[in-house]
Amino acid sequence: MTKKEIPVKPYLYPMPVVLVGANVDGKPNFMPIAWTCIVEYSPPTILISASKTHHTSKGIRDNKTFSVNTPSEELVEATDYCGIVSGKEFDKSRIFNVFYGELKTAPMITEAPLNLECKVVQHHEYKSHEIFFGEIVHAHAEERFLKGEVPDIAKIKPFVFSMSDNNYWKLGGLLGKAWRIGRNYKKNKHVIS
């Protein structure tokens, strides 16, 4: 195996795709975001990194709230459309049916299977991007996307994004159970006794 050095870019494969919502000057606006991850389990906290120039970011700064909406495969066109047009020039409030929860200023997407209401608990400026830490204060979903009270990824059918080739991908089949499938490794390899 010979490794070669390749030009340095931020490579992370693959990334989740969410629609982040905020009210900008009182009107709902949405942006697709793949630069997002969980940072804390309790209190449940998620972060997003977004260009400072995004229209939605202005709404997050103003209201200190945002929503995280997980789109299903069927919403891929509408999701991508939100990334093609800017709320500075187009009114995105009519693309989806919108509802609000307790936070009042975090517009959520009815058509998206899973909706999180977040209040900003930290805000970091970072070069051309800014990072919002959102504590999730409420979570909403339709019954048909749940297994018990938990969102079921197989029912939601979310999709992922690969950056360098700019593609969206479906999820494939189950590969294994975490904290379980690794036991096979131990059994088969006997690396560590």
Query: How far apart, in Å, are the Cα atoms of 19 and each of 51, 133, 183?
Result: 14, 16, 37
- Residue 86 CB, shortest distance to a second copy, in Å, is 11
- Residue 63 CB, shortest distance to a second copy, in Å, is 20
- Would residue 11 be called left, alpha or beta, if left means φ above 0 and alpha means ψ between -120 and 50 degrees? beta
The nearer residue to a second copy, 24 or 68, going by C-beta atoms, is 68
- Residue 62 CB, shortest distance to a second copy, in Å, is 22
Residue found by looking up tokens 């999180």 in the block: 116
The nearer residue to a second copy, 25 or 122, going by C-beta atoms, is 122
The nearer residue to a second copy, 18 or 106, going by C-beta atoms, is 18
- Would you call 2 exposed, middle or buried from its count of C-beta atoms within 10 A (0-12, 13-18, 19+)? exposed
**Four-CA torsion 151, 155, 160, 166, nearest 10 degrees:** -140
- Residue 19 CB, shortest distance to a second copy, in Å, is 12
What CA–CA distance (Å, rounded) separates 45 from 31?
A: 19
Structure letter (DSSP) for residue 1: -
